[in-house]
Amino acid sequence: MRRILIVALALSLVLAACTSKDGGKDGGKGGKRPATVDGIATGAGTHQEKIDVGTPGHREYLLHIPAKVADGKWKDGKLADKPALVIALHGGLANMKQMESLTGFDKLSDGKGFVVAYPDGFMTTWNAGSCCGAAKIGKIDDVGFLSKLIDELTGAGLADPDRVFVTGFSNGAGMAYRLACEKPGKVAAIGVVEGSLVTECDPDRPVSAMIFHGTADRSVPFNGGGNRDFNDKRPFPPVSRAVDFWRRLAKLPEPHENVKALSGNTDCQGTGKGEQGVEVTFCKIQGGTHAWPSEASEMLWRFFDAHPRKG
């Protein structure tokens, strides 16, 4: 028994030497990683976090931190090299965990070294303007929520404020549009998958945008149509309207440059980069339905990585 106790004590001393009292790791790369920064977990993996938005209750999000970031260079409790941040917004009647599973961004994050946040909508919906559901009816300030999320993660030094990217699916894609419309200074680029621009939009600066849409989408029809919400029978505008809006805002030509896609049924055309490196790319998925394309996540990251905010 005494020998077992001695072995256990020795093991505990070894572990204590590898981990700081607050749970941070001392990797010998410029200092110890704190267990949290401004209350946000810093360890490798996915953490469920809460954020106070000044209303009753709180909002939640998942935060995935790759080992490349957690084990990177820390100095005085701060990351020396701040990573990019991708915020992924789930579709209507879904949640943050489903978005994490749907996109596969965690695996990409681990390989490429960017941080991913998966926020939860209000009662499974986002207030994207004239859509959708409970969030719209309740006039939930989702722009405020997402803006504060960005501020907290960049303010804590866990993300580069010039490399914040927002993507979404369906209702979440509409929310990505709205955030870019109202807070363009907070995002470098957006990625829209099977979504529609259904909010008033008058940003004071352009953002880069990559837009995916299937020609056989019946929920948000490619050429417009359907109903915006259960209590709003107005049709969705065609996807071309959103493509034209963002390129004209940036004074860009119509998409004409071929962009390499990862599957044969996806045809991507880009405008080329304009002022401050802004670009719009439109990916038409022949026969694509209301679903997240298997190639979307990798292509979105490739686009995001090439379009940091400038100026």
Is the domain of 12 the same as that of 38?
Answer: no
Residue 13 has pLDDT above 90, yes or no: no
Is the domain of 277 the same as that of 155?
Answer: yes
Mean predicted confidence (pLDDT) in 47-76:
95
Q: What is the pLDDT of residue 292?
A: 98
Is the domain of 134 the same as that of 280?
Answer: yes
Mean predicted confidence (pLDDT) in 46-74:
95
Q: What is the pLDDT of residue 25?
A: 60
Mean predicted confidence (pLDDT) in 245-254:
98
Pairing type for strands 45-51 and 59-65 reads antiparallel
- List the structure tokens of 149: 């999320």
Q: How confident is the model at residue 80 (pLDDT cuts 50, 70, 90)?
A: very high
Residue 28 has pLDDT above 50, yes or no: no
311 occurs within a structural domain: no
234 occurs within a structural domain: yes
Among the listed residues 209, 61, 63, 79, the one whose alpha carbon sits nearest the alpha carbon of residue 145: 61
110 occurs within a structural domain: yes
146 occurs within a structural domain: yes
Mean predicted confidence (pLDDT) in 103-116:
98
* Number of folded domains that form the chain: 2
Is the domain of 85 the same as that of 126?
Answer: yes
d(CA 182, CA 40): 26
Among the listed residues 211, 214, 199, the one whose alpha carbon sits nearest the alpha carbon of residue 244: 211
Pairing type for strands 164-169 and 85-89 reads parallel
User: Residue 112 phi/psi, 5° resolution?
Assistant: -100, -20
Residue 101 has pLDDT above 60, yes or no: yes
Mean predicted confidence (pLDDT) in 73-93:
96
Strand partners, 46: 64
* pLDDT per residue as tens digits for the range 197-235: 999 999 999 999 999 999 999 999 999 999 999 999 999
Is the domain of 24 the same as that of 57?
Answer: no
Mean predicted confidence (pLDDT) in 28-39:
82
Q: How confident is the model at residue 2 (pLDDT cuts 50, 70, 90)?
A: very low
Is the domain of 227 the same as that of 285?
Answer: yes
Range of the domain at 20: 1-30
Q: What is the pLDDT of residue 31?
A: 78
Q: What is the pLDDT of residue 15?
A: 33
Q: According to DSSP H, which parts of the chain are helical?
A: 2-18, 67-70, 96-103, 105-112, 133-137, 142-155, 171-182, 239-249, 296-305
Report pTM.
Answer: 0.91
68 occurs within a structural domain: yes
Average model confidence (pLDDT) across the chain: 91
Q: Is the Cβ–Cβ distance between 267 and 293 less than 8 Å?
A: no
Here the CATH number for the domain that contains residue 269 is 3.40.50.1820
Q: How confident is the model at residue 167 (pLDDT cuts 50, 70, 90)?
A: very high
Q: Between 64 and 17, where is the model more confident? A: 64
Is the domain of 1 the same as that of 93?
Answer: no
310 occurs within a structural domain: no
Mean predicted confidence (pLDDT) in 3-19:
36
Is the domain of 53 the same as that of 19?
Answer: no
43 occurs within a structural domain: yes
Q: What is the pLDDT of residue 18?
A: 33
Q: First vs last Cα of the chain: how many Å apart?
A: 67
Residue 137 has pLDDT above 90, yes or no: yes
Q: What is the pLDDT of residue 10?
A: 41
Residue 19 has pLDDT above 80, yes or no: no
Q: What is the pLDDT of residue 185?
A: 97
Is the domain of 147 the same as that of 220?
Answer: yes
Which CA distances in Å does 188 have to 29, 112, 246, 308? 30, 18, 13, 6
Is the domain of 11 the same as that of 73?
Answer: no
Is the domain of 101 the same as that of 24?
Answer: no
Is the domain of 90 the same as that of 11?
Answer: no
Share above pLDDT 90 across residues of the chain, in percent, rounded to a whole number: 86
131 occurs within a structural domain: yes
Cis amide leading into 132 (omega within 30): yes
